[in-house]
Amino acid sequence: MRSLCIVVALSALFCTAEAGETPRPNILFLLADDMRFDAMSCAGNPVIQTPKIDSLASRGVMFKNHFVTTSICCVSRASIFSGQYARRHGIEDFHTDFTPAALAQTYPMLLRAAGYRVGFIGKFGVGDKLPAKEFDYWKGFPGQGRFFEKNDPDHLTKKMGDQALEFLKGCDGTKPFCLAISFKAPHAQDGAEREFPPDARDAKLYADAEVAVPKTADEAFFLRLPEFVQKSEGHRRWTRRFATPDMFQATTRDYFRLVTGIDREVGRILTALDEMKVADNTVVVFTSDNGFFFGERGMADKWLMYEESIRVPLIIYDPRQPAARRAQKSDAMTLNIDLAPTLLDIAGLPAPQAMQGRSVLPLVRGETPAPAWRTEFFYEHHTEPKIIPRSEGVRNERYSYIRWMDADPVIEELYDIQADALEERNLIAAPEQKAALDALRARWAVLSKELK
């Protein structure tokens, strides 16, 4: 009798639609890897084709100022799961795992505890011990993964789309679901002969396109960097990806092809949601773990506190919102630490007090958040200091303030983003900026302590 009562209670909780109530929404969380903010046609890119991602933006809200608080996969992913800055979650390398207690307070575990069917596909990115048994459906992999396995023509991105469809087929409607798909693309296959190998279906895509070289991908900007930055891993990778015009075109075209491969799988998944008749109650979130340099300042990859590295896409499509909230663009400053509170809020769950981000759902709904939304954030990068210079800083709505932590004395940079979007002019010695510089130094000192 007790078992029967439990079944009846669960049915009442998860199948409320029959009683005239709206069931709890499903969640589809799509995470690209190393995808910069402008690598979508809906963001103004004149070359790349991303029609399915564009369709999400046309039906939802695109956040134009979404940033990561640390631009490297292991740390950023830990921040996405936990809603915390690196200095609080403490994961600053590729081998540190969440403690059991910390894992229990991540968004997927909290959703599962609240009755969601939770699946994970792709690059987990945090630590060495994969929490496969903690998920209802697990197709995660350690490390970076490979786009192609030996004697297997199927591209990894396509396989992940297949796994997503498999997960959806396993949803029987008795529970809401949260599926997180963590693509490897468009991250490089580091060290491979072709570091950004696309799906064979996309091999000729963009072949005739001429990708514009960024203005700051010039030796003059490279020479302005501190010497230890010039000698860092970012420039070493530049030498094998962007050092010549032909290399630049080959790399960017392949990068775009990988993004279009993601777009294809997004389309397949959205079609499946329609066919299952659950699309109208499935919130879709699309973002990336960090940005990527296309040779700006003689750099490749990410890590450094420049816009190309720290600014990433964020699109949220909530089909429950009225038509007036379609195709909206938000200038609000949102962060990767906001994703966990947002996903919990979608499910109607409160964020744990230890989470430092905020739900962006009020912004999706067009509301005025209370308290007022942030106008600044703290940046930190301490991973792999032997090859990546450590940096911290503060980014607000006007300025970007950078501190290179390993220099003695500390080397600083200051950019007026409103007047100088490409960060071409370092204002650190400009007398007219002294008041702004002093204020940013003070905010750095406060935030570096407060955020632990």
pLDDT at 8: 33
Q: Is the backbone peptide bond immediately before 142 cis, with ω within 30 degrees of 0?
A: no
**Which residue in the block uniquely carries the two structure tokens 């800083």?**
393
Question: How many CB atoms are located within 10 Å of the residue 410 CB?
Answer: 11
Whether 7 is covered by a domain: the verdict is no
Residue 257 lies inside a defined structural domain of this protein: yes
User: Using one digit for the tens of pLDDT, what is the confidence trace for 139-183?
Assistant: 999 999 999 999 999 999 999 999 999 999 999 999 999 999 999
- What is the reported pLDDT for 178? 98
Q: End of a domain among 363, 398, 432?
A: 363
| Mean per-residue pLDDT over the chain, rounded | 95
Where do the DSSP E strands lie in 164-278? 177-182
Same domain, 421 and 340: no
Instruction: Walk along the chain (452 residues) in steps of 10 and give the mean pLDDT of each run.
Output: 34 43 92 98 98 98 98 98 98 97 98 98 97 98 95 97 98 97 98 97 97 98 98 98 98 98 98 98 98 98 98 98 95 98 98 98 96 98 98 98 96 98 98 98 98 95
For position 404, what pLDDT does the model report? 98
Instruction: Give the total number of structural domains in the chain.
Output: 2
Do 140 and 211 reside in the same domain of the chain? yes
CATH code: domain of residue 332? 3.40.720.10
Same domain, 308 and 438: no
Residues 92, 193, single domain; the answer is yes
Indicate if 164 and 218 belong to the same structural domain: yes
Supply the DSSP string of 35-92, one letter for each residue: --TT-SGGGT-SS---HHHHHHHHHSEEEEEEE-SS-SHHHHHHHHHH---HHHH---
Q: Which domain holds residue 191?
A: 22-363
Strands 311-312 and 61-67: antiparallel
Residue 382 domain-assigned?
no
Q: Are residues 275 and 330 in the same domain?
A: yes
Inside any domain, residue 11: no
Do residues 301 and 422 both lie within one domain?
Answer: no
Question: Has residue 384 been placed in a domain?
Answer: no
CA geometry: angle at 243 spanning 242 and 244, to 5°?
A: 95
Do residues 152 and 281 both lie within one domain?
A: yes
Same domain, 397 and 336: no
